[in-house]
Amino acid sequence: MRLDVVTIFPDYLRVLELSLIGKAAGTGLIDLAVHDLRRWAHDRHRTVDDTPLGGGAGMVMRPDVWGEALDTVLDLPAERAAAREAATGRRRAGTRQVLVVPTPAGEVFTQRTAEDLAHADQVVFACGRYEGIDARVPEHYRQLGVEVRELSIGDYVLNGGEVAALVIIEAVARLRPGVLGNPDSVVEESHSRAGLLEYPVHTRPVSWRGHDLATSWPGLLSGNHPRVARERRERAIARTADRRPDMVARLDAQHLDGKDRAALAHNGWAVPRGAAHPVPLSLRRALAEDVPGLVVLARRTFPDACPSFLTTEQVTEHMDRHLTAERLGAWQADPRVIVTLACLTEDTPAEAGPVRAGEPVGYSVVILEAEDDAGALPAGLDPRPAAVNVPHRPAGGPGLAAELSKVYVDARLRGSGLVDVLLSEAVRGACALGVTTLWLGTHDGNRRAHKAYRRSGFVKVGTRRYDVGGQSCRDVVMTLSPGACDPQQPVWSGR
C-alpha cells in the first residue's frame, strides 16, 4: 500500500516513524511519502494561500498550487490529457487510488471507512490549513474520475488536516495484513461489526486498591470459557447502553439472542418481536392517569396466563371482579402498593402490530401486608398461604410480607427480557420498603412463569387453591427473601 501526504508541515508527520506504522514502512509493508506543498508554489515567498473570495476571515489554499501537487503525487498526466483519459474511461486498470481530503466539513470517518480504505492501492492525503482548500480542488479530481473522500474525524475543529491524516493512517494501516503482531486484536475490538463497544478488560493483580474482581466479577475467574464469553458480551452491552445509546439503537435485532435481549432490557432497551432494532424502555411507578391504559393491558394479558380448562365466562367474571379501574386506581393511590409500568418511548413496528410510544406493555403489582389507620389491609391482597414464613428484619424486629400480585408482559414483548426487569424492579421496590419476604401464587401449569420466577431467585414453598370465576385452581406458591438486596442500588434506572 502506498500512502502520500501533502502538507505545508512535513515534520508534523514524523511521528509516523516512531509507531508500528513506521516499522511497517521500514519493512516495505507500507510505502509512505510525505511531500511539502511549497515545492509546487511559484513565487519567491512560496505562497500557497490567498484571501477568501467574497470576503471573510482567514485564508484559503490556492487551487493552482494544489493542482500541480496532486497531479504529481497521483501521477496523473498533464491536466488536459487526464481529462481526455477520464472521458474515454482509460484510467490505469487494476489500481485503486483514493484522494482523502481531511476537513471538519467532511463525512464522518468510521471503522467502516477505515476497512474500505485498507483495500486501496494508494491513498493520497491533501492536508489543508487555514480556512481550507479551494473547493474546486476535490471537485476537479472527482470529475477526472479519481475517488475523492472528504473526511472529518469528529465534531470538533482542528487547525489543519495533519492530525486527522495521522488518525486515518493509523486506523487504516493497522488493518493491513502483517502490520499488527496479533491479527486477532482487530477482530474483537470496539467498533467491529458486532456494533458494540469492547467489554472492559482486566489483568493481575486480581485485587487492586480494594477493587476485587473476585467479588465484582467472579465469572471472569471461573475458567469456564462459555460463561466468560457470555458475561463479557453482557458487559459490552451494558457499557454500550451507558455510553453509546446511538449504537444500541442501530443494533440488528436478528443478531440478538434471548440473553442479549435480557441484558438490553436490564440496561433500558427492549426488542419487541419483529422489531428491527432495540427501542428505549421506560420503567416507572404508575400515575393516576396511567390507570385506564393499565386496565386495558391487565385485561389483555390475564387470559394468556389462564389454564385452558377455564371457560371464557369464568375468566371474564374474574376480570370483571378483580381487574377493574376501581381496583387498579385504588392500588395506584395506595402507598402500600407498588404499581410499576413499562412502556416503550418510541412508536415501534412489531410482528403483531405496532407498539405506540407510552402505551403500557408490562406491569407489576406488589402489595404490602400492612394495615392502614383503620386496621384494614390493602384491597385485593390474597390471604398469605401457611407455607410462607415471614423472617425478622436483619436488624431484629418483626418482618414484613408482601404479595407479588401481578407481573404481566404484553405478548408483543415476550422474549425481550422485560419480565426479568419487572421482577428485579418489584424486588428492589419491596426491599426498599422493608419487605422481608415476597411471595406469589401462580397457576400450577404455567411453566413459563415458574421459570421466570426461578431465574429471579424465587423458590417453591407450597401450593394454594385459587378461585377464578367460581372454578378452583391449584397454584404453586413461591417466595423470595429480598434480604440480600441493596435498596440504594437500583437494579435498573429508567431513561
> Which residues make up the interface to ligand 6GU (CB under 6 A)?
102-104, 151-154, 156-158, 160-161, 164
Residue 125, CB-side half-sphere exposure with 13 Å CA sphere:
33
- Using CB atoms within 10 A of its CB, is residue 383 exposed (0-12), middle (13-18) or buried (19+)? exposed
- Of 113 and 463, nearer to ligand 6GU (C-beta) is 113
Q: Is the peptide bond before 102 cis (omega within 30 degrees of 0)?
A: no
Cα angle 61, 66, 68; round to 5: 150
Cα gap 71→14, rounded to integer Å: 24
Write the CA distances from 295 to 83, 299, 318, 321, integer angstroms.
72, 6, 13, 12
Nearer to ligand 6GU, 164 or 341 (CB): 164
Least separation in angstroms between residue 165's CB and ligand 6GU is 8
- Inter-residue contact 426 to 362 (CB < 8 Å): no
Buried b (16+ CB within 10 A) or exposed e, 424-439: bbbbbbbbebebbbbb
Nearer to ligand 6GU, 173 or 344 (CB): 173
Name the residue among 399, 442, 449 with its Cα closest to residue 419: 449
Least CB distance from residue 102 to ligand 6GU, whole Å? 3
User: Which one, 246 or 289, has the nearer CB to ligand 6GU?
Assistant: 246
Nearer to ligand 6GU, 104 or 195 (CB): 104
| Residue 348: CB minimum distance to ligand 6GU, A | 34
> Cβ of residue 106: shortest distance to ligand 6GU, in angstroms?
6
Least Å from the CB of residue 153 to ligand 6GU: 4
- The smaller minimum CB distance to ligand 6GU, of residues 7 and 416, is found at 7
User: Minimum distance between the CB of residue 355 and ligand 6GU, rounded to whole angstroms?
Assistant: 38
**Residues 448-466 as b or e (16 or more Cβ within 10 Å = b):** ebbebbeebbbeebeebeb
Nearer to ligand 6GU, 152 or 479 (CB): 152
Q: Residue 127: which of 234, 38, 227, 55 has the closest Cα?
A: 38
From the CB of 203, what's the least distance to ligand 6GU, in Å? 33
The H or E element spanning position 32 is strand 31-36
In the complex, the smallest distance separating the C-beta of residue 127 from ligand 6GU, rounded to whole angstroms, is 8
Q: Which amino acid is at 297?
A: L
Which residue lies nearer to ligand 6GU by CB, 164 or 310? Answer: 164
In 144-204, where does DSSP find H-type helix? 162-173, 185-188
Distance CA 474, CA 445 (A): 9
Q: Please, which residue, 8 or 423, has the CB nearer to ligand 6GU?
A: 8
CB of 21 to ligand 6GU, least distance (A): 18
Contact 362, 413 (CB under 8 A): yes
